[in-house]
């Protein structure tokens, strides 16, 4: 039978010995994998001492032995392991590597959350689900998604600041909110054809990201554009950017945390700028909102820094949504001392009495566009 090397890489994840696996779409029937019994977990720690699960209630089976010898920890259970439960190893600060048996199909939410020394995990290519924040804050460098995983959950790789390379498998359909937020070393990403949904802020704060490829990638590789909505931006090395023509919506958190961007040219095709679209773009001191924009979401251009100049060209004040905030805070936080909002001369009063815009009444001045 054809032998295939299948890697589920977290940091430097390698597989090595023959084993049969469960029936998972797109996965091989024969793989190379470590000779680890299905009722054991192998691990290493920074101090060469044993660890215990952080959250015992999520144990699938009782631990019958836990030893550390010859540079390896072995945790033995009284049954085959199919799931790494929620928070099972969260905040295990001494954990440096872990090898899971081939029988594991599910990794629960926050399973390895904030394991700040965990550089290597060997996981089965037959894993079918990985919970939210499962690897949050882990110093992994590389990851290949198992073929059976269809959803990258919320913040699953959030704050993995060493993560440089990710391979997403065909079969993935959803990348959830903040999935890769603040993965500051991630340089490029290919989006599989199977992906149908990418939620807000999936790549916010990925300051080294220079290129998207695959599904939804713009011609220049700098954006992901879905249904005429710009939903993500690759900011590395860019201080000014012209959004492609035809984009009608700048999605939620699309440019969030692009700290070095100084100028964005928004085309007249844009009618909506969603919540947090340009939030915390600290170098973006001036922004022009084109004449066809009808809607501005909560904290759409919020920086918390001043001075800031906003040129708002629509003659009719765009509808504003403050979301769950007590105030709109679209551009800055109160009392907005150095913020100036330039609007068409004939529309000054309309802006000042508009429901959300009135909070900026003292900052609004007429301008001849």
pLDDT digits (tens, 9 = 90+) for 156-198: 999 999 999 999 999 999 999 999 999 999 999 999 999 999 9
Count of all residues that appear for the chain in the document: 369
Low pLDDT (below 50) residues in the chain: 1-21, 24
Q: Residue 303 has what pLDDT?
A: 82
Name residue, tokens 């090397």.
5
* Residues facing residue 365 across a β-bridge: 342
| Contact by Cβ (8 Å): 297, 273 | yes
Smallest Cα–Cα separation from 331: which of 352, 313, 307?
A: 307
Query: Residue 195: which residues within 8 A CB-CB, separation 6 or more?
Result: 168, 172, 173, 174, 175, 215, 216
CA distance 280 to 271: 22
Query: Residue 56: which residues within 8 A CB-CB, separation 6 or more?
Result: none
CA distance 358 to 361: 5
C-alpha pair distances (Å), 335 with each of 228, 286, 331? 35, 18, 11
C-alpha pair distances (Å), 142 with each of 46, 69, 168, 230? 20, 28, 11, 27
Q: Residue 127 has what pLDDT?
A: 97
Smallest Cα–Cα separation from 325: which of 286, 351, 356?
A: 356
| Contact by Cβ (8 Å): 295, 271 | yes
CA distance 297 to 276: 7
For the chain, the farthest-separated pair of C-alpha atoms sits apart, in whole angstroms, at 79
* Residues facing residue 76 across a β-bridge: 40, 65
CA distance 67 to 64: 10
Its pTM stands at 0.89
| Contact by Cβ (8 Å): 206, 183 | yes
CA distance 76 to 80: 10
Q: Residue 13 has what pLDDT?
A: 36
| Contact by Cβ (8 Å): 179, 158 | yes
| Contact by Cβ (8 Å): 318, 325 | no
């Amino acid at each position: 039978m054809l032998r295939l090397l299948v890697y589920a890489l977290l940091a430097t994840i390698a597989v090595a010995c023959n084993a049969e696996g469960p029936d998972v779409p797109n996965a091989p029937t024969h793989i190379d994998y470590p000779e680890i019994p299905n009722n054991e977990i192998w691990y290493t720690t920074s101090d060469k001492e044993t660890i215990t699960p952080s959250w015992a209630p999520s144990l699938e089976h009782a631990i019958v032995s836990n030893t550390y010898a010859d540079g390896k920890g072995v945790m033995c259970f009284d049954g085959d392991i199919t799931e790494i439960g929620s928070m099972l190893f969260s905040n295990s600060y001494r954990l440096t590597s872990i090898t899971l048996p081939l029988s594991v199909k599910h990794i629960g939410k926050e399973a390895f959350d904030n394991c700040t020394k965990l550089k290597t995990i060997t996981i089965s290519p037959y894993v079918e689900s990985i919970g939210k924040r499962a690897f949050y804050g882990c110093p992994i460098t590389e990851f290949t998604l198992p073929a059976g995983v269809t959803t990258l959950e919320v913040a699953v790789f959030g704050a993995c600041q060493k993560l440089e390379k990710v391979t997403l498998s065909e079969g993935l359909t959803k990348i959830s909110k903040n999935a890769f937020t603040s993965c500051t070393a991630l340089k490029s990403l290919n989006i599989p054809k199977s992906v149908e949904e990418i939620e807000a802020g999936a790549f916010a704060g990925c300051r080294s990201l220079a290129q998207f490829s695959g599904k939804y990638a713009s011609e220049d590789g700098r954006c992901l554009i879905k249904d005429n909505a710009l939903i993500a931006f690759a900011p590395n090395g860019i201080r000014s950017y012209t959004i492609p023509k035809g984009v009608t919506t700048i999605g939620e958190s699309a440019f969030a945390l692009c700290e070095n961007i100084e100028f964005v040219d928004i085309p007249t095709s844009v009618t909506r700028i969603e919540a947090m679209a340009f939030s915390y773009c600290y170098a973006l001191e001036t922004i022009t909102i084109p004449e066809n924009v009808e809607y501005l979401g909560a904290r759409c251009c919020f920086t918390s820094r001043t001075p800031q100049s906003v040129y708002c060209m629509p003659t009719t004040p765009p509808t504003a949504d403050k979301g769950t905030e007590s105030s709109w805070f679209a551009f800055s936080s109160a009392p907005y001392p150095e913020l100036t909002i330039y609007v068409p001369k004939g529309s000054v009063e309309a802006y000042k009495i508009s429901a959300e815009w009135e909070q900026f009444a003292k900052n609004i001045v007429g301008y001849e566009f």
